[in-house]
Structure 1
Amino acid sequence: SLYQLPATRVVESRLCREHYRAHDPSALLPDGSVPEELCKVEAVQQRLGRIQGLGEMLWVAGDFFMTIPLVSLADHRGHHFVLCLNLVPRAVLLGWTFAVGYFDQGLPVHAILAAPALSLLGGDCVFNSIVYALVSELTDDHVLRATFFGYVNAVTSIFSLQLGPALASASMSALLWLPLWIGIFLLLLAVPAVSALRLPSRPQHRNLHLDSDPEANDPSTPLIPPQNSPPRTSSSDSDSESNRTRPALAARTTARLRALRRLLAAPSRNLALLLAVFFLAALASADTRLLPLYVSARYAWRLADVGYLLSAKAGWNFVWLSLVVPWALRWRRKQRRRRQGWRGGCYHRAEDAVTGDADTDTDTDADADAENVVLARACLAVSVLGALAIALAPSIAVLLPALLLYALGIALPMFTYSLLRSPSMGVVADAPGGPGSHLFSLVMLVRTVASLLGAALMPSLWVAGLGLGGAALGLPFMASAACYAFAWVLVARIEV
């Protein structure tokens, strides 16, 4: 969040100077710079959109291809190691942006695309795969699980979407490079913070020879052995740790790929629909990367001021996710239990105690899944309305309530991720690191593919909108509304 605004301004400033140096040198100030207000011309904004789109595609592509190896590495070396490794490309991204902006005589503006390629060391997909899998294993209670997902999104909202843009706006107003330096400092602080986390210990080395094991290719074999099964050992106890590391990591990567292939080979109808919903939602959310450009170009706002607007939206997200939605979920559960107790009566409770009938618990789970479907549809509906309102907003006064309406849909992951653990998906997560862990990796890969497509589609629509002008600037948000609408139809077809 400290990167986006200053990086956009760095590239815009470089492109702006090149444009006016070639077409109108009189616009250049004595120090060679150009006032930001003159940089909103179509030629500059189109090139800016293309460069940002290419950078996003490079970041997402490297992240996608390394997700399975790095998640397997997390299983082998521990989550702390991979989470710390995940900080390296982010720090390089900030430092390289400063280098491209400061050494403008020695580095071409397109050199900024070199840093996103370091997502091969880990990006958002790797990070989210680990975090969401860990969070999903904290509890089996559907309300608590949805609440935990909400807290994760709320923390992300308050720090990366509220404090980040506000701090970037305030600091870049004083010095353009300041938010980049602050970001590097915070990443350095994250290293001891990650090391202090109490995460699951590194699993013992096992399954080192999956390819030679006849059970490994048996479709009836569980994706992960039961917790009480003895760990497999290497053929020689005298082998050193370094000799076992490479085959163990390769075996884990192969096993995870095989598990994902099994999930994709014959997914249940509900799981296929839910994966499609994740894909469409991630594709639609790619428009948020263009929001600073959209506000800056359509309403002639400085990028430093756009950060405060984004912070107001993120503040609303935090209140919505951390307070309103969890309270509403707890209230609805109390109401549902009260209705069930009233309908059941003392006679049915006594009968269940004698017969051992467990239908009450099953009905409760089914009701919870049905509630998640209803609430997911509600989030998608407001996302459709919010995206359309943003696309058609004629002024900032109309844009602000449109952003708040759009933000109501941010609760969607609370319900879609909860549905992943539903029995109706046909995947049983029987142990930590089991099928549920693979399922979350699969979801992150699906979302990353959608983000990769969105990184190409949304900037293309943005460039086309700039060429048409007027309301056509909202083309990316119109496309997002269409994706959310299609996802709404798919969620309605999920049967629980």
Structure 2
Amino acid sequence: MALQLGSPRESLEEDGALLTPTEPAFLPPHKPTKKPWVLLVVLIFIIVAVVDVGAYLAEPPLTRLFEENLCLKYYREQDPSVIDGDGSIPEQLCKVDVVQQRLATIFGWQDMFSAIPGILLAVPYGTWADKVGRKWIVTASLVGLDLAFVWVMIITYFNSLPLQLTWFSSAFTIIGGGPIVAMAIGVTMISDIVPPEKRTTVFLYLTACVLVAEMLAPIMAARLMESGNWLPLLLSLAIQLMGVVVALFIPETLHLRDLPEPKDSGDQVFELQPTPTTSHFSLRAQLRNFQDAVHFLRSDWTLSLVVLTFLANRLGRQCISLLVRYASKRYNWEIKKAAYLLSFRAATNLVAVTILIPLANFFLLKKLRFPAHWADLWIARGSIAFTTIAFFVMGIAAHPSLLIIGLLIYNMGTGYTAAMRSVSIHVVGGQSSPDIGKLMSTIAIAESIGAMIAGPLLSELFQVGIGLGGAWLGLPFLTSVVVFAFMTVVTNYIDVGDKEPSYVPVHDEDEEEIRTSALDHEELARHRDLP
């Protein structure tokens, strides 16, 4: 994955090992030790699985509580006789257009407000991650998410409070920057330690962890919802708090990457860092961050295209978040029944992520002998084409069986994010590049902007579709077809070149100290021999 000609960031991994001088004769041959990346990756996978189980466990009951809240307020005004003596109301009565449109509004604007901290804080937290370490930023992000969840639970518990107050939960994600920043830093931790030829596979298995959580959690939620909506929510909170505890025990990865010395050249190197004299979170610093982010992207046309695809790809993720409400409204299903679609999608997606896509990657690497970066790019291109077809099928799905077919096709496009993240790492010079943290922060900003736009947009399209009725309910998915068709064209214009960066192993600290001392001793002896 080479950079475009003229880029200020030539591939930093092509120089090989950092210590290249001839070894002294009295030292045994040096055998570089491998990075302890397997164990660390497993620990990161565990925390991702734990946190996502908690998040997906909360989604169906929270959706039902929101719907019930809006439904009760509607029928108190329109027809109080349908409300039971205990204040409950049959779920089937809540599928009326007005209630579903209000529900779409609540979730749509929540998506927008949740994206704002990621846009404003991705770069400062990315900079901090490069200075103080990754694990503390990830831990702070999880704490902020837990506080936001507690706020939503409090507002939902008191039925008299307007649900719009849940939008203020986004303020708590100022702590750590929110879910997109947490994922960006987590990916950076993996990028610090995983060899380039294994990155796409590791990212795919990271996706598999999320899918396992998504597969199990909705089934658990549906069963627990038979005993009430609050039991799965309380269990979800406990699990997410456990994720914070696990995060405290993850080793730091910042020191496990090798950073080559800057090259002595006239090229300008852009750094996404706030001005030294101001706070990371001041207005002046934020303006500087965005200015530097623009320079960072303008410095390389390929990098700009790659980051653009992440912005558009966020629309797809937001569209899938409509799945439960879409199926519930279109097929008149109960929410806990519609939640099983999430488990089905995750289970079949797991097969694609752990078997089909790795097989495709193996075929491209071993049989066709593509360089790793070209294999990644072709997986991304194929994935985005599958996603485009899937949204079209889901958008016209008048029958549940057609929706299921659309989900199966969608699963074939799951490899896009993992493959394109690997491509992006190559574009900035590989895993030893000092721009990795800046890259992930920039991608987080792009995804946050995408989420901020997609949330209200898809909500409005869903409301329009509800108002028009019939096949128009699939309007959000059909709109996504246009976006992803455009992305399909863009990915075919991305050219990552023919260079292949090398993997720079981390050496044992004691061994490195011996080598350095020996080299110093040899240098001193040479100076003594000089006249």
Which TM-score band applies after superposition, normalised by the shorter structure? Answer: 0.7 to 0.9
Cα deviation 1:100-139 (Å, max 9, x = unaligned): 232223x223222222332212212211221112222323
* Equivalent position SS for 2:368: helix
Match of 1:351 in 2: none
Q: Is the 8 A contact 2:114 2:178 kept in 1?
A: yes
Residue aligning to 2:308 = 276
The structural deviation recorded for 1:276 is 2.2
Alignment of 1:273-422 (within 5 A): 273-337=305-369, 365=371, 368-422=372-426
Aligned partner of 1:266 in structure 2 is 299
Shift of 1:83: 1.7
How many residue pairs get aligned? The number is 428
Partner SS, residue 421 of structure 1: helix
Choose the corresponding residue for 2:149, options 94, 99, 106.
94
CA distance in 2, matches of 1:64, 1:449: 6
Stretch deviating more after TM superposition (46-55 or 435-444): 435-444
Which deviates further from its counterpart, 125-134 or 34-43?
Answer: 125-134
CA distance in 1, matches of 2:158, 2:123: 37
> Which residue of structure 1 lines up, in the alignment, with residue 219 of structure 2?
166
Cα distance per residue 1:194-218 (max 9 Å; x no partner)? 1111222579xxxxxxxxxxxxxx9
- Residue 205 of structure 2 corresponds to 151
Q: Determine the C-alpha separation between the residues in 2 that align with 1:86 and 1:166.
A: 27
- 1:188 maps to which residue? 241
Cα 1:73–1:458, aligned 2, differ >3 Å: closer, same or farther? same
Counterpart-to-counterpart distance in 1, 2:431 and 2:347: 37
Confirm or deny that 1:428 pairs with 2:432: no
Change in CA separation of 1:267 and 1:390 when aligned onto 2, cut-off 3 Å: same
Deviations 1:329-371 (A, max 9, x none): 224322134xxxxxxxxxxxxxxxxxxxxxxxxxx53xx4333
1:119 aligns with 2:173: yes
1:35, distance to aligned residue in structure 2 (A): 0.5
Q: Residue 63 in 1 paired to residue 133 in 2? A: no
Determine if the alignment matches structure 1 residue 199 to structure 2 residue 247: no
Letter of the aligned partner of 1:200 in structure 2? T
Q: Distance in 2 between matches of 1:88 and 1:287?
A: 27
How many Å separate the matches in 1 of 2:171 and 2:280? Answer: 27
1:295 is paired with a residue whose SS is helix
**Would the alpha carbon gap of residues 439 and 74 (structure 1) be closer, same or farther in structure 2, given more than 3 Å must change?**
closer
Equivalent residue for 2:268, pick from 220, 224, 237: 220
Q: Distance between the aligned counterparts of 2:272 and 2:341, measured in 1?
A: 47
Q: Partners of 1:45 and 1:145 in 2: how far apart?
A: 42
Question: In the alignment, is the contact (CA less than 8 A) between 1:64 and 1:125 conserved in 2?
Answer: no
Corresponding residue of 1:175? 228
Paired with 1:400 and 1:369, the residues of 2 have a C-alpha distance of 33
Measure the CA separation in 2 of the matches of 1:47 and 1:248. Answer: 38
Q: What whole-Å deviation, never above 9, does each CA across 1:61-105 have from its counterpart, x for those lacking one?
A: 122212222223333443222222112232233323332232223
Cα distance change of structure 1 residues 322 and 453 upon mapping to structure 2, 3 Å threshold:
same
| Cα distance change on mapping 1:404 and 1:254 into 2, 3 Å | same
Q: Which amino acid aligns with 2:124?
A: P
Maintained 8 Å contact 2:60/2:335: yes
Give the structure, 1 or 2, with the largest relative contact order (CA under 8 Å, sep 6 or more).
Answer: 2
1:44 aligned partner: 99
C-alpha distance in 1 between matches for 2:79 and 2:272:
65
Q: 1:247 to 1:392 in 2, by over 3 A?
A: closer
TM superposition shift of 1:327: 3.1
TM-score by length of structure 1 reads 0.80
In 2, the alpha carbon distance for the partners of 1:293 and 1:73 equals: 38
Cα distance in 1, alignment partners of residues 401 and 269 from structure 2: 59
Report deviation, 1:192.
2.4
Note if 1:31 corresponds to 2:86.
yes
> Deviations for 1:408-466, whole angstroms, at most 9, x for unmatched residues?
111111221121133xx4x324736x112211211121111111100111001000001
Tell me which moved more, 449-458 or 325-334: 325-334
Q: Distance in 2 between matches of 1:248 and 1:20?
A: 49
- The structure richer in helix per residue is 1
Give the letter for the 1:482 counterpart.
Answer: V
Contact 2:60 2:336 in 1 (8 A): yes
Aligned mate of 1:133, from 183, 188, 212:
188
Work out the CA distance in 2 between the residues paired with 1:12 and 1:407. 29
1:46 alignment partner AA: Q
TM-score of the pair, normalised by structure 2 = 0.75
Aligned equivalents of 2:489, 2:418: Cα separation in 1: 19
Deviation at 1:478, TM superposition (A): 0.5
Letter in 2 for 1:404: L
Deviates more, 1:280-289 or 1:250-259: 250-259
Residues 275 and 72 of structure 1: is their aligned pair in 2 closer, same or farther, counting only changes over 3 Å?
closer
Q: Report the secondary structure of 1:86's partner residue.
A: helix
In 1, the alpha carbon distance for the partners of 2:484 and 2:414 equals: 12
CA contact (8 A) 2:315 2:480 kept: yes
CA positional deviation for 1:221: 4.9
- Which shifted more, 295-304 or 270-279? 270-279
- Pick closer, same or farther for the CA change 1:320–1:64 going to 2, 3 Å: same
Q: CA RMSD in A?
A: 2.7
1:311-332, Cα deviation, whole Å (9 max, x unpaired):
0111111221123222332243
Unaligned runs of 5+ in 1: 204-217, 226-243, 338-363
1:72, 1:252 within 8 Å by CA — same for their partners in 2? Answer: no
CA contact (8 A) 1:376 1:416 kept: yes
Q: Could you tell me how far 1:257 is from its partner in structure 2?
A: 6.0
Q: 1:222 offset after TM fit, Å? A: 7.1
**Amino acid across the alignment from 1:448:** S
Contact kept in structure 1, 2:361 and 2:376, CA below 8 Å: no
Query: Is the 2:126–2:440 contact (alpha carbons within 8 Å) kept by the matching residues of 1?
Result: no
Contact 1:387 1:478 (8 Å CA) reproduced: yes
Matched with 2:467 is 467
SS at the partner of 2:321? helix
Mapped partners of 2:281, 2:449: distance in 1: 24
The range that moved more, 310-319 or 163-172, is 163-172
Matches of 1:275 and 1:380, distance apart in 2:
15
